[in-house]
Structure formats: structure tokens, C-alpha cells
Amino acid sequence: MRWEGLFADLEGQLAAEERRELDSEVAERTRRERALVDLTARLVAALGAPVSVLLEGGRSLAGTLADVGDGWLLLGDRGREWLVPQHAVLSVAGLPAHADPGRTARRFGLGHALRVLARDRTTVAVGLAGGPVLVGTLDVVGSDHVLLAEHPEGEPRRPENVRRVSALPFAGLRVVESRR
């Protein structure tokens, strides 16, 4: 009987040690997998959900996360839409705890998203880093900049309405709001 108790105790110690090793391995694998998840994957998991975004410079935007691409996100709220370069984002509230491996971001970058606005001749309000908000029409989208023809809001982009044309590097963009 004494031997049976000793063997049972040893068996229990081995089982407990195996459980600790398994728990440790699961925790380490979880940490490794979480380390591989980038912000874009978390944003994609939140598509269709309300989020709040704090931009460099202190501006906050709140709305539904409508789309996510390579280096950008699109927010919408009551008919307003904001194209936000990911480099301008300081924080995002409202993201789910886990990424969704079945969903991916659009593969095209900020330049392609801006080209859609330029093609449609949409009036936009462009928020710049540490600067004013410029209103106008995107004329040309280059590889790292846009040309904005500044004109009064509500007036079409015609030569007589254009105040000036400014080159805006992508790095200085904080938000581009569509003013349809």
C-alpha cells in the first residue's frame, strides 16, 4: 500500500509537470503568433465596425471602418468619407482583440486610392501635418505626391476658379475628406 501511494504521488507530479510544460508552450506560441499580427490585419478584422482614430496633430475621427488597403484606411460617417494614410494614425480605438486570418486588405496603396479621387474630379479637403486644411481638386497623383488645384468649396475646378496648384508630399498628408 505504501508503494502504491508513492507511485500515485510520482504519477501526479509528472502529470502536473507535463501540464505546466504544455501551458508554457501554448503561451509562448500565442505570444509568437500575436507578434506576427500587424496593424493592417487588426484593421481588416474591424471592417464594418465603428472605430475612433486619433491622427498626428491631434485631430480625431470617428466612423465606420469602410475599407483598408496597403498603407491607408477609409472611414465613413453619415455621408462623409475620410481617406487616412496609415502613417498619420497615432491610435485606433474599437479594434477587435484578434485578427481575422480569412480577410485581407486591398493590395493597392495610397497612391491608387488617391487616383480614384483624381479620376472622379471629386472636391476634397486635405488635412496636412501641422498645417491648414486645403480645399480643391486632385489634378495629378505621382508616386509620392499629389498636385492639388485649390479652389473655393462648392465651385467647380475651372481655370478661373483655381487660386493655386500645390504639390503635397504623401508624407505630409493626414487626412483627405471627400466633399461630394
What confidence tens digit (pLDDT) does each residue in 126-175 have? 999 987 899 999 999 999 999 999 999 999 999 999 999 999 999 999 99
pLDDT in tens, 99-109: 877 788 899 99
**So what's the pLDDT on residue 1?**
59
Report whether pLDDT(26) > 80.
no
| Predicted model pTM | 0.82
Considering only CA atoms, which of 152, 157, 109, 148 is closest in space to residue 126?
148
What distance, in Å, lies between the first and last C-alpha atoms of the chain? Answer: 86
Strands (E), 17-157: 50-55, 60-70, 72-77, 80-85, 89-93, 106-109, 123-128, 133-141, 145-150
Type of residue at 56: E
Type of residue at 70: D
Cross-strand pairs, 146: 141, 168
**So what's the pLDDT on residue 30?**
64
Task: Give the pLDDT band (50/70/90) at residue 91.
Answer: very high
Give the sign of the dihedral formed by CA 81, CA 87, CA 90, CA 95.
Answer: positive
On the CB side of 50, how many CA atoms lie within 13 Å of its CA?
4
Report whether pLDDT(29) > 80.
no
pLDDT in tens, 109-139: 999 999 999 999 999 999 999 878 999 999 9
Q: Which residue is it, cell 498619420?
A: 88
Q: Which residue is it, cell 486644411?
A: 133
